[in-house]
Amino acid sequence: MSSTGEDMYGLVERLYPLCRSITGDGVRATLDIVGEYLPLDVHEVPTGTQVLDWTVPQEWNIRDAYVADTTGRRVVDFAASNLHVLGYSVPVSATMPLAELRAHLHTLPEQPTLVPYRTSYYAPTWGFCLSQETLDALPDGEYEVRIDSTLADGHLTYAEHVVPGQVAEEVIVSCHVCHPSLANDNLAGIAVATFLARELAERTPWYTYRFLFAPGTIGAITWLARNRVERVRHGLVLACAGDPGQLTYKRSRRGDADIDRVLQHVLTASERPHRVVEFTPYGYDERQFCSPGFDLGVGSLTRTPYAGYPEYHTSADNLDFVSPEAMADTLAVCREACAVLDRNRRYLNLSPYGEPQLGRRGLYGSLGGRSDAKDAQLAMLWVLNLSDGEHSLLDVAERSGLPFASVAAAADALDEAGLIKAGSP
């Protein structure tokens, strides 16, 4: 696990310098790197394409940007940090006094040493982001302002990776690829999704897992507009996956979808510090998957949630803010949740009249000497009692208070002994 955490951190390090946005070459470069870890199906959707109530915007690319004083010194420099430019800034080449320039400068007065992350995707304008300390130190006078960018017809780019399962029904795992140099808010989520996909590919899961790497909001909307969702049974949006805070799960709009119950069970059983919060139509792309017309069973897993930490959308969300250990912990919860989703079944008791004799089938004897023998025996009794074709193994685990793994192991033993028969998930 330590090695996996370090590998995920290494991916975040590689992605961190790239300037991403909702479109453009930064997204493609990001997917090229992820594609070294996973085979990806990359989709290019042309500008102007109608996607639900939205339209794919023009593509934005940037080569350089700066504000320079009369000596030519760059007091704000895109080359030093891609956060310095307002995302989707239109091209500009001008000289203007500081008094005029101020209307285009964005700072965080309450966090004077940090550079904010700001965008203007759908209202053409331009601007720079800088620390309040830098702004306060600028003398009055003339400044050269240059943004070497293009905003032109092109494409929105997103990618998918599919891990085939035993059935065609799908679990979608989504992360956003549209933020520039922000290590926690989005790169840690990309890394966890990538390594989860690699782990799932080492076995044949029950469900088919579809991993979606797309720009936030417009990317998820584009995917929903272009794909049939009838096969989607469960889903999880990953973001803010590497910070030091405790894990937070946000329920789906339904509130009681299987994914909600699974994450609640996994987090509780693991005894990790965590929070489970109710759905709100604000946050990441769970709000698109949970819009009322789709109402998919999709929740969101983060550590500290959206806008819940002072480093959020600032230059402090850097490589020092995320850790291999935090990403490994997030990955472990995802792994455990997938194991529960894949293993959850309903069973039918084939000897439902009275309790079947377990001893003569060797089921009691097989537990001898085990430290968990009592729980294993109790799990068998619970599985037998609730195997009526209506209750799933997750139902058994929730009602009995036993770990899902113990319940699943009991079901395997009883199935092998011919006492129960597997049914539907």
pLDDT score of 163: 98
Contact 420, 414 (CB under 8 A): yes
Mean pLDDT by 10 residues, the chain (425 residues): 89 98 98 98 98 98 98 97 98 98 98 98 96 98 98 98 97 98 97 98 96 98 96 98 98 97 96 96 96 98 95 98 98 97 96 89 62 78 95 96 93 94 86
Contact 42, 198 (CB under 8 A): no
Contact 152, 57 (CB under 8 A): no
Dist CA 264 CA 189 (whole Å): 20
Amino acid at 288: Q
Total residue length of the chain: 425
Summarised one tens digit per residue, pLDDT across range 25-69 is: 999 999 999 999 999 999 999 999 999 999 999 999 999 999 999
Dist CA 217 CA 226 (whole Å): 14
Domains of the chain: 2-57+155-343 (3.40.630.10), 59-152 (3.50.30.90), 346-422 (1.10.10.10)
The per-type count for the chain, helices as H runs and strands as E runs, is 12, 19
Dist CA 264 CA 168 (whole Å): 25
Long-range contacts of 322-325 (CB under 8 A, 24+ apart): 322/9, 322/12, 322/183, 322/184, 322/187, 322/188, 322/242, 322/243, 323/5, 323/9, 323/242, 323/244, 324/2, 324/5, 324/6, 324/8, 324/9, 325/2, 325/5
**Exposure on the CB side of residue 223, measured as CA atoms within 13 A:** 28
pLDDT score of 360: 84
pLDDT score of 367: 47
User: Model-level pTM?
Assistant: 0.95
Q: Say if residue 412 carries a ligand binding annotation.
A: no
88 sits in the region (left: phi over 0; alpha: psi -120 to 50; else beta) called: left
- Smallest CA-to-CA distance from 63 within 33, 25, 93 is with 25
Q: Say if residue 313 carries a ligand binding annotation.
A: yes
Q: Say if residue 106 carries a ligand binding annotation.
A: no
- Tokens 């300037």 belong to 19
Helices (H), 137-250: 189-201, 218-226
The pair phi, psi for residue 379, each rounded to 5°, is: -60, -40
pLDDT score of 374: 77
Summarised one tens digit per residue, pLDDT across range 278-315 is: 999 999 999 999 999 999 999 999 999 989 999 999 99
Dist CA 321 CA 316 (whole Å): 7
pLDDT score of 363: 83
pLDDT score of 373: 65
pLDDT score of 361: 84
CA 187 to chain centroid: 9
